[in-house]
Amino acid sequence: MQDRRAAWHDVTLPIDHPWWKTHYPVNAWRCRCGVVALTQREYDRRQGLKKEAPVEPLVDWTNPKTGEVHKVPYGIDLGFAYNVGEAHQQ
């Protein structure tokens, strides 16, 4: 796990939480992040879960070919800030 995404480890949010719209894996080339579903009972019993979405800044990403600057969520490479499964259903 890359350091910039280490803060996401054990983040446990409802499936419809807005954070998943931009942070559902994969988030970069060679990203090995994953998601595991929990039942309500597992959620209630597990200790150490992060039950709030991390607050992350938007950072500038500069296209090396064009010089154009884009704002992207910290820890997510340009072009990966969307939920693939959700996009497929639209």
What is the DSSP secondary structure assignment for residue 25, as one 8-state letter?
Answer: S
**H or E element in which residue 71 lies:** strand 69-73
Confidence of residue 35 (pLDDT cuts 50, 70, 90): very high
Tell me the domain boundaries of the chain: 1-90
Lowest mean pLDDT among 16-30, 42-56, 69-83: 69-83
- pTM of the entire structure? 0.74
**H or E element in which residue 20 lies:** helix 20-23
Q: Looking at residue 2, what is its pLDDT?
A: 59
**11 with 50: CB under 8 angstroms?**
yes
Average pLDDT over residues 59-87: 84
**60 with 70: CB under 8 angstroms?**
yes
Q: Write down the mean pLDDT value for the chain.
A: 86
**17 with 23: CB under 8 angstroms?**
no
Question: Quick one: which of 47, 39, 34 has its CA closest to 5?
Answer: 34
